Amino acid sequence: MSSEIRTGEVADGIVTLLEEPRFELMPFDSMDDQLEHLPDGAEIAITTSPTLGLEATIDWTERATDRGFEVVPHVAARYVRDEDHLAEIAGRLTDAGVTDVFVPGGDREEPIGEFTSAYDLLSTLEDLAYEFEGIGITGYPEGHDFLDDEVLAEAMAKKEPYATYIVTQLCYDPQTILEWIEEIRGRGVDLPVEVGIPGVMKYQRLLQISRKVGVGDSIRFLQKTSGVLGFLKELVGSRGTYVPDELVAGLAPYATDSYYDVCGVHVYAFNQVPDLESWRSETLTQYG
């Protein structure tokens, strides 16, 4: 009987997580084609590209909202020059109908202006005449390559009052994600968590994108915090195509648990939406 309940829990949780995910896309030329394969009105996050800067993010945000998508642009702090630039960005996003933004620090080693961290930008945004219903900040289940856990905890404590939810960086291990949520709950952080998961990734497609957009962007995406080697091991083990079946199944029993407060999954699609949507559709049919 318990195994039947467990099986039912997992099935229901998988459907809950995958019915309406957020799709993260990169603002490259392939965006047009990617949008064609998404459900009407889907929620998409658009990253800030180290090679293209914020302008590409805002431009694609305006274009995608015109097509009826619910867009959550990444406003990376280190790519914003100053308060006037931030006000200009906020104004354009508001005019486009954006109600939710995600604020990471950004991948630039040197900021282009006065904002060196997400906190700097968030505290400045608070004083501007623009309001967003949702504001996301970053969580690091596997830590950060250059910052220790104590620094990360302090940074989250500073950002939390300005945020409405957390998006976790890419991670392949459900237990690591769940333990991290337990850790932040223990520190008194009660923001809902949108769990970042990899989508379907084909190695050959990944190489094509890397050659087209530059290895730098690809490596930065893949690294997140779990590392290129971790990703390659997953890819090799899956014979050239990674699918997040085990990861989603591991998170599924906790999908509606109020303690963990998982508000959804944030799928790092890496502009491979057709393969991702084929897998998602098949999975929902299987468990729905």
Tokens of 272: 């491979």
Tokens 């990674």 belong to which residue? 242
DSSP letter assigned to residue 240? T
Exposed / middle / buried, residue 122 (Cβ in 10 Å: 0-12, 13-18, 19+): buried
Q: Which residue has the higher pLDDT, 230 or 188?
A: 188
The predicted pLDDT at position 68 comes to 98
Candidates 138, 276, 269, 258; CA nearest to 194 is: 138
Q: How many other CB atoms are found less than 10 A from the CB of residue 84?
A: 10
pLDDT band at 170 (very low <50, low <70, confident <90, very high): confident
Give the pTM: 0.88
Q: Which residue has the higher pLDDT, 142 or 215?
A: 142
DSSP letter assigned to residue 170? P
pLDDT tens digits for 79-113? 999 999 999 999 999 999 999 999 999 988 899 99
Query: Helices 53-66 and 83-95, interaxial angle, to 10°?
Result: 20
Candidates 164, 163, 138, 165; CA nearest to 153 is: 138
Q: What is the spatial distance between Cα 160 and Cα 285, in angstroms, rounded to a whole number?
A: 37
The H helix count followed by the E strand count for the chain is 12, 10
Question: How far is CA 3 from each of CA 37, 175, 178, 286, rounded to the nearest angstrom?
Answer: 37, 20, 21, 18
Residues 159-170 have a mean pLDDT of 95
Tokens of 110: 């040197």
Domains delineated in the chain: 2-287 (3.20.20.220)
Per-residue pLDDT for 214 more than 90? no
Candidates 211, 225, 239; CA nearest to 268 is: 225
The predicted pLDDT at position 172 comes to 81
Tokens of 231: 């990703």
Residues 25-35 have a mean pLDDT of 92
